[in-house]
């Protein structure tokens, strides 16, 4: 009885239609589309971190000529949350939001327009240096998180819409 149930479960699992996102390796539709995306330059420290994170994850520039350009506009904000009895901020929230557009270079059309974002809490301590270091560390982590969200969405685009 247990063997029959296991065989039935395996049969159902194989018929579910799931396929690996990066199936086909380097020549697969997702990997080849991702390599054909150039990342447009971004302003500021957050832009530099985000552009590097995206290039690392996309392996941008591996293709001989890019098919797409990724343009990202960032909104990086720090907001004070907790207040001590002396009216100083005790905790901050750093928020990084990105609006990104994938542009087909052959037509100039925007083929994907979406947003991504995340936030992180930062403790404000007595040392100003430690607080600034914590804010920068939060920005580095947020850049990686938001870059992962963008790349995941680009991979879904490449899997469904990116190839004819």
Q: Residues 42-72: pLDDT tens digits?
A: 999 999 999 999 999 987 556 578 889 999 9
Stated pTM of the model: 0.80
- 112-127 average pLDDT score: 92
State the fold for domain 24-160. Answer: Double Stranded RNA Binding Domain (3.30.160)
Sheet containing 68-83: order of strands: 37-39, 68-83, 89-104, 110-123
Indicate if the pLDDT at residue 23 is higher than 70. no
**Around 101, how many Cα atoms within 13 Å sit in the side-chain half-sphere?**
8
| Residue spans per domain, the chain | 24-160
DSSP conformation letters of 48-113:
HHHHHHHHHHHTTT-SSS-SEEEEEEEEEEEEEEEE-TTS-EEEEEEEEEEEEEEEETTT--EEEE
| 150-162 b/e (C-beta count within 10 Å ≥ 16 → b) | bbebbbebbbeeb
> With pLDDT > 70 as the criterion, what percentage of the chain qualifies?
81
């Amino acid at each position: 009885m247990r063997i029959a149930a296991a065989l039935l479960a395996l049969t159902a699992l194989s018929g579910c239609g799931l396929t690996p996102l990066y199936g086909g390796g380097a020549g697969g539709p997702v990997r080849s589309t991702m390599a054909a995306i150039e990342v447009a330059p971004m302003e500021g420290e957050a832009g530099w971190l985000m552009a590097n994170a995206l290039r690392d994850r996309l392996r941008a520039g591996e293709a001989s000529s890019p098919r797409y350009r990724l343009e990202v506009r960032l909104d990086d904000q720090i907001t004070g949350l907790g207040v001590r009895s002396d009216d100083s901020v005790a905790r901050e929230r750093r928020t990084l939001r990105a609006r990104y557009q994938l542009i087909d270079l052959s037509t100039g059309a925007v083929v994907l327009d979406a947003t991504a974002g995340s936030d992180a809490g930062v403790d404000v301590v007595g040392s100003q240096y430690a607080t600034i270091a914590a804010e920068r560390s939060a920005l580095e982590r947020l850049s990686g998180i938001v870059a992962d969200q963008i790349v995941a969405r680009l991979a879904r685009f490449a899997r469904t819409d990116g190839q004819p």
